[in-house]
Structure 1
Amino acid sequence: MENTTAPGTPPAYRRVLLKISGEALMGPQGYGLHPPTVARVASQVQAVHALGVEVCMVIGGGNIFRGLQGSAQGMERTTADYMGMLATVMNALAMQASLEGLGVHTRVISAIPMDQICEPYIRRRAVRHLEKKRVCIFAAGTGNPYFTTDTAAVLRASEMACEAIFKGTKVDGVYDTDPVGNPNAKRYETVTYDDVLQQNLKVMDASAIALARDNRLPIIVFSLDDADGLDGILAGRGRFTRVQV
């Protein structure tokens, strides 16, 4: 079943966090950043921002370096995770450049201080940026190893008092099995946090789901290629899965 809210419906939320993976920015490439893909995501964020929605973002770093893979290849885990955090900063800067090219005022805010290129994370300052209608891109995860950018996204969304997390992926929701390998996979319209944890559904890691559940923060999983775009998903159109209590 597809969500069919009429076009022109106002957004359901006033402040949201958009979480996308680093891999989503690779486009058809196997590595790195694909500028047209970055520009396409930025244009969707611009469309939502133009509706008056306050937007913050967390972008993964798997298109450049993934800490778990580095650790699996013999690298010390803490070092590998810090390298992954630096990759998220590179992606955040690329997204900032694309958004500001569209006239959207943006701040990159890093959990690891690097004052020459971005702001350090200070919660009250970040909230003020959102109130001034600037898009905040949170980089470097939580600033600590052993935590994923999924957990960082839920943490920042909670700190910013966001009303929902929108997770943009390559598929149009949450399935009981991988829809790429199984054409008969079942897509959920809604699913509970507990079901995600108990069935090990691939939404976010367990720490992130538990934190979202504890803060009653809904997660909307959608495809970045959805024809309605992020603004349509935000208004309730298109195909998506809502993770909730």
Structure 2
Amino acid sequence: MRNKLFSRITTALMAAFVMAGQSVIAFADGDVQLDCSNAVESDNWTQSVQFNYNAEDPDDLKSFDATRITDQSVVTVKYDILETYETETPTGYPVELIIQSWSNPDTPMVNATGGVWGKVAPAEVDTENNTESFNYADIVTAYGSDNFEKVDALLFGSTNDAKIKVNSVTITNCKDEGNHWVDPSIAEQEKAAQEKEKEAKKKNIVGIIIGIVAGVAVAVGVIWFIISSKSREAFDVSTGEFVDKKSAK
């Protein structure tokens, strides 16, 4: 009986350790499931969904900081195929990934206007489950650099093979935080705005303090007036009223 009980306890503990280990591994992976609720139908090289860098809220799942991507990351997209097309030059895959910058990045792929429009073909296509996977090396090749500090957007669009709509985007093995480039002029503007806000708060606090002090002073004055008035009066027993002491004499 004791052996059976010991065996059950041991089994339960082992299962708990396995589950805990899986949880730790899942957390360590740093997978990010992006919000595709804004996705639209697209075909003929148009885009279904776009994830811009959001400086104000980097954790917003409708945006993404590409500097969180690591060399172990895989980008997986799932989609619906709404219609297929017969073309003379099919790509063999309905969805492409585009890595975009408009911030004049240091890459040979930059164009005359300081932008990059890097088109990435999937490394794997699962036609049965309408799923494609994009690997890190291909993304770097399309962008021309592994420095993603000036990547402004990741887009998922259709090729000329089909009309599609993106359902989900998952990026595996991401860093917890990114280090995206910030335009110095914007940074200065934000700093100035923060300083202005601090000064406004200080003025508000000073105004509140002055108001409180003034209120206390008025209250003290009123109390002093009442006390002074009462000190000049005496109670007349015959009339049952307070009368001026001078008059009472």
Alignment TM class, shorter chain as reference: under 0.3
Q: TM-score, normalised by structure 2?
A: 0.23
Which has more radius of gyration?
A: 2
Q: TM-score, normalised by structure 1?
A: 0.23
More strand per residue: 2
